Amino acid sequence: GKVNVSLPNTTSANYLSQLLRELAL
C-alpha cells in the first residue's frame, strides 16, 4: 500500500542526501 511505496522513496531520498553530503566534504 502507501506505506510500502513511501518507505523506499524516503530511503532513496536519504541515501541520495547522504551521498551529496559526502561529496560536499
Instruction: Tell me if the pTM is above 0.85.
Output: no
pLDDT of residue 25: 78
Please count the other Cβ atoms lying within 10 Å of the Cβ belonging to residue 4: 7
pLDDT for residue 1 is more than 60? no
pLDDT score, position 13: 85
Full DSSP string of the chain: -HHHHHHHHHHHHHHHHHHHHHHH-
pLDDT in tens, 3-23: 666 666 678 888 889 999 999
Question: Angle CA(10)–CA(3)–CA(9) in degrees, nearest 5?
Answer: 20
The whole-number pLDDT of residue 10 equals 79
Q: How far apart are the C-alpha atoms of 11 and 9, rounded to whole Å? A: 5
pLDDT of residue 3: 67
